Chains A and B, each alone.
Chain A
Amino acid sequence: MMRSTLSVFALCAAALPGLAAADPVKVGLLLTLSGPPAVLGEHARDGALLALKKLDGKLGGEAAEFLVTDAEGKPDIAAQKARRLVESDGADVVIGPIFSNIMAAIAGPVTEGGAFLLSPNAGPSVFAGEGCNPDIFVVSYQNDQPDQVMGEYASGAGYGSVVLIAPNYQAGMDHLGGFKRTYDGDITAELMTQLGQLDYSAELAQIAAYQPDAVYAFLPGGMGVNFVKQYQQAGLSGIPMMSSFTTDETTLPAMQDAALGMLSSGSWSPDLDVPGNAEFVDDFIAEYGRVPASYAAYAYDAVMLLDTAIAAAGTEDRDALREALRTVDFPSLRGKFSFGANQFPVQDFYLTEVVQRADGAYATSAKELVTADYVDAYADACTAE
């Protein structure tokens, strides 16, 4: 730590005498990189690093340094590491985290330490409404939105009855709540499963007995893989499966054919027809050997946003940089992009379907636009500034 402090001084002294702003822009990447959900963090990390590489290691023309840090999926450890990044390593911006509970734990340490927080995934409602914070920018979406979009789609598609399934914990309730908010058909049953559940045969038997028009699932990570595989094996493929955070590029390699045709929603997909997106996907595959998931795309966007904002306002004046982050127009992989009053995105949402790509890999594919310029439900409650 002593060494890092000294090296900063050395850099300052060596670079352009008289110009204090010459030390590199430091960006902390605080992502969960260990434990079962590590793959999500890895996608985000790789997306961000790819963006930096594309920018020749510079943000807004200034030399930049990325400090990759593992949040370990534990709020207390993440909070500690956030403080280390901001207080000890001198990060100006932190990009992270993946999970909402980590976000709640690090938001204080990051913003009170004088840095900006750019979230490449987590968008919990606490920071979208009254608790919105001028130093926090959510580059992904508000957590409830994908579910609400699916609810709207299910209503429009004429599914009269749906069985809901989610793990028995807070995020599970929230996501099902999002779906129910916009879905106007019958909820046949809500199946609450256990966190980390392995065997879904009991739930699948319930679904088979109910014979609903469709199933809606929120089963992230390994739970989703277990469920989707067993769904197909139980002979339920005839019942349409919609989900959020269940079938994406992080889990599809493990689901493969079992997930084909399953539906979800998002504001980005690898085949979204937007300038630069195809190039990003190809570069990502070439560099990391897998199809990028939304975590990678949003982290890439976060870095691009940062680059454009620093180019416009520099890093010296915090208020100017904040204003630039809010308003600047950057080349997003989602095409048009803007922030709402709560600094959550206002963006288009698509229905996506699992397909097999020409190269044999599995990915989500944008099928149709469901909602344009979607503003989250909490934005009105934000009265920041």
Chain B
Amino acid sequence: MTLLAVRDLRKSYGALAVTDGLSLDVAEGELHAIIGPNGAGKTTLIAQLSGQLAPDSGSVTFDGTDITRTDMASRVRAGLARSFQITTLMPAMTALENVALAVQGRSGSSFRFWRPVAAEAALNDQAMTCLAQVGLADRADRPAAAMSHGEKRQLELAVALACRPRLLLLDEPLAGTGPQEAERLVALLEALKGQVTMVLIEHDMAAVFALADRISVLVYGQIVASGGPEEIRQDPAVRAAYLGEEAC
């Protein structure tokens, strides 16, 4: 069953078409990787899928509902969460607080002025679960600003998971990590497969081909090929346009 359907999406800045009639289907449960050379429009695509950026035309349908003009917050509540390539965590808050804030966003009103939020066991328990899921349980009380880069990437994931998404948009989760950190994160994503549908944008080809159920190749704002890892690896057009220069 298709969870996310993108039809003829277009976005341009002046004469430059960053998204140029893009169509894409993401099936429920799969890990769908999007690869492409720098400047292909991957981050712009994520921004439009998450609602950060409004497309000029086209449509985005999530679970049968048209969300093209829906704002970011509503999409999150509908189950469409994202992680960021450049960390946007709350630096002054602890890891636990960062995650608990995301839990709070989907559980009950935030117009509560009296009861200390730090004492809300329900929020903290769920936040701890998410932290444990990404292997940060022992870092709960550390301020985000004081964490290592790899830990920040993990926390980034934990925050996204705390939104209980049905579809997770991952914008280069491995960017800037060392080999060991990358390995741990890949294992983490592997473990998440099946629990949550994922759209993964990533430059690390080894990780992409290890993880993805399906891969779409984005070049100049258009999907030029889509298929299983083997299919993509063999596709002559893809090899010529993209892989030829970079991976193999």
Chains A and B touch each other in the complex, with CB atoms below 8 Å apart: no
List B residues at the A interface (Cβ < 8 Å): none
Interface residues of A (CB under 8 A from B): none
